[in-house]
Amino acid sequence: MRVGESDLPLGASRFGGVPDVPEDWEWPDGTEVDELAFLAQINLAEIVALNPKLPLPSTGWLCFFYDIETEPWGHTVEHAGGWRVAYFDCDVESLERSEGPEDERYTFPTCALQFENTLTLPRGEFLTKSDPSSPFTRERDGQPVEAGKIVLDSIDYEEVFETLIDPPNDGPDHRLLGHAHEKQGPMPHTFRNLIRLTATPPTERRNPFTGATMTIPGEPATECDESLKQLLTETDDWRLLLQLDSDKAGPGWMWGDVGRLYFWIP
């Protein structure tokens, strides 16, 4: 629900507007732009009060920022400067309301947030192909079922998914933790592909529809920060931190063609 900036107390969770930050905090800049846009502020005390079992700190604030000018997809490690997540752990009295970015286009309408516990499930088509350790498999003609695997009936599963998981009335699907509702394919198990373990330049292919040259993403390992390379190539257990859906009626943002933003953590 949209509200005035002054209607929210200091430290309250919100979409849009400006964040409440410590005195010495500096607004983050991006790789391609001078300032990132502020998206969301999450008061972790509100979250833990609702569900103490969540793997989050019990105090502090998470603030999310993104480059809304170029809208990086995260296809290469060079895109990593296109977003930031800041964590503040201090007394609310130590916070002050930020003045916001100089460019008003980078400030979305302020929206108050209300949280609720919900059930999330991974999409059925991703269960059997995105994770080799998944207990599920699909029955394929002429192929034996792998020992110890559960055969997933895609029709029955998708019916359950659509009934229980999809947001009512086609509303926006914002999520904190849980399973992501990916629109264009499984994400975490493709992260290691962002780093090419040789110095070979990215592969060029042709778009079958336009004939234009397409570059298949991949950063040569010799040009990548060692800690980032290790994180992307050795981490399998990624967790969704925040999913932000396109939401014109709320904060007014639109990601691509009614897409979503996903923030992941290892």
229-255 confidence digits (pLDDT tens): 666 666 667 788 999 999 999 999 999
The residue ranges of every structural domain in the chain are 1-118+173-185+238-266, 121-164, 188-237
Number of Cβ atoms within 10 Å of the Cβ of 163: 8
pLDDT of residue 41: 97
In which element (H, E) is residue 84 found? strand 83-88
Q: Which of 144, 146, 142, 143 is nearest to 134 (CA)?
A: 146
Strands 20-22 vs 14-15: parallel, antiparallel or unpaired: unpaired
Structure tokens of 249? 């009626």
State the chain's mean pLDDT as an integer.
Answer: 76
Strand 260-265 with 239-245, pairing: antiparallel
The per-residue pLDDT for 222 is: 53
Residue with tokens 């930031």: 84
What class is the 1-118+173-185+238-266 domain?
mainly beta
pTM of the prediction? 0.76
Whether the predicted pLDDT of 115 surpasses 60: yes
pLDDT at 181: 82
Strands 150-151 and 136-137: parallel
Position 168 scores a pLDDT of 57
* Per-residue pLDDT tens digits for 146-188: 555 555 555 566 676 666 666 556 679 999 998 888 876 667 6
Task: Report the pLDDT value the prediction gives residue 42, as an integer from 0 to 100.
Answer: 96
Q: What is the pLDDT of residue 213?
A: 46
Identify the weakest region by mean pLDDT among 14-28, 37-51, 146-160, 190-204.
Answer: 190-204
Mean pLDDT on 186-199? 60
Q: Is the dihedral of CA 213, 217, 221, 225 positive or negative?
A: positive
